[in-house]
Amino acid sequence: MDVEVGFRSAFLSTTVSANVPRWYVVYTYPRHERAVADQLAHKSVEAFLPTYTKTSRWKDRRVKLELPLFPGYVFMRICIDQKLKALSIPSVIRILSFNGAPAPLNDADIDAVRLCIGRGAMLQPHSFIAIGERVRVRKGVFEGLEGIVVRHRNSCKLVVTIALIQKAVALELDADCLEHVRPSLAASSANPSHGTLQIQ
Show the 3-state SS of the chain: CCCCCCCHHHHHCCCCCCCCCEEEEEEECCCCHHHHHHHHHHCCCEEECCEEEEEEEECCEEEEEEEECCCCEEEEEECHHHCHHHHCCCCEEEECEECCEECCCCHHHHHHHHHHHHCCCCCEEECCCCCCCEEEECCCCCCCCEEEEEEECCEEEEEEEEHHHCEEEEEEECHHHEEECCCCHHHHHHCCCCCCCCCC
Encode pLDDT of 85-105 as tens digits: 999 999 999 999 988 899 999
Which fold does the domain 108-190 belong to in CATH? SH3 type barrels. (2.30.30)
Domains of the chain, by residue range, sit at 8-105, 108-190
Mean pLDDT confidence for 27-36: 97
pLDDT of 192 higher than 60: no
pLDDT for res 191: 38
Fold of 8-105: Alpha-Beta Plaits (3.30.70)
Q: Band of the pLDDT at 152, cuts 50, 70, 90?
A: low
Mean pLDDT comparison of 5-9, 148-152, 167-171, highest-scoring range: 167-171
pLDDT of 92 reads 97
- Among 4-18, 107-121, 128-142, 147-161, the range scoring the smallest mean pLDDT is 4-18
CA distance 146 to 151: 16
Q: What is the mean pLDDT of the chain?
A: 81
Is pTM beyond 0.85? Reply is no
